[in-house]
Amino acid sequence: MATILRTWSYQYQWLYDGISRVAALGVGGETRFHRLPLQGLKIDPEMMVLDLCCGSGQATKFLVKFCNNVTGLDVSLVSLKRAQTNVPEASYVEAAAEEMPFPDNNFDLVHTSVALHEMKPSQLQTIINEVYRVLKPGGVFALVDFHKPTNLLFWPGLALFLQLFETETAWQLLDTDLIGLLKDIGFQVSNHTLHAGGSLQVIQVSK
């Protein structure tokens, strides 16, 4: 699955950003898209924030507007170098989300934007466990990612997008009970909302 467009979108940041911009129109644009996972959260500028799987800093750019201590983590050095240039206000760590080089109880907020759909089911479990470990008690995990549309009209657009740009893990996420997984690991669910005809989900859970 996926096409050469996936390779190109990771190769050329202008292409990735252009596609993200168009996709975000489904929820009213990029600013609104980035605001969704943070909606209703009390954000303190001194909070320790992790942008998990930060890529080239697309969401990190938004997070640094509210917080002074933002760390971006990604497994791709190329993406991190771009993030460093794009959003120098944050600090960056090259690591796998499955094995984060942070102590226990370190962050007030772990945020991840459209990244969990890149993980295999077994990876997902490990990563959520890691998020739980690095969050302080009472800390929040906020995420936005794909979801199975509840409005049939949104199926063709999502299916085309996944076919062109994603791999089978994105399809697997549509069939994953993410809320159940988070609860099993010990998180308390405070918010689960659907957007863009149900094709996008926002989850906020706390430790």
Ligand X SMILES: C[S@@+](CC[C@H](N)C(=O)[O-])C[C@H]1O[C@@H](n2cnc3c(N)ncnc32)[C@H](O)[C@@H]1O
- Residues 47, 131, 8, 1, Cα dihedral to 10°: -150
Candidates 113, 176, 199, 201; binder of ligand X (CB under 6 A) is 113
83 touching ligand X, by CB under 6 A: no
In the chain, how many H helices and how many E strands?
A: 9, 7
**62 or 154: CB nearest ligand X:** 62
Is residue 53 near ligand X by the rule CB under 6 A? yes
The tokens for 101 are 């080089």
Can you tell me whether residue 29 is helix, strand or coil? coil
- Residue 4: CA atoms inside 13 Å, Cβ hemisphere, count? 0
Hey, what are 18's tokens?
């252009």
- The minimum distance between CB 199 and ligand X, in angstroms, equals 15
Among 47, 50, 64, 97, binds ligand X (CB under 6 A): 97
Contact status: 126 vs ligand X (CB under 6 A): no
58 belongs to the binding site for ligand X (CB under 6 A): yes
Number of chain positions touching ligand X (CB under 6 A): 17
Span of 63-71, 72-80, 102-110, 178-186 interacting with ligand X by CB under 6 A: 72-80
Q: Which of 41, 67, 90, 115 binds ligand X (CB under 6 A)?
A: 115
Angle (CA) 77-52-111 rounded to 5° is: 150
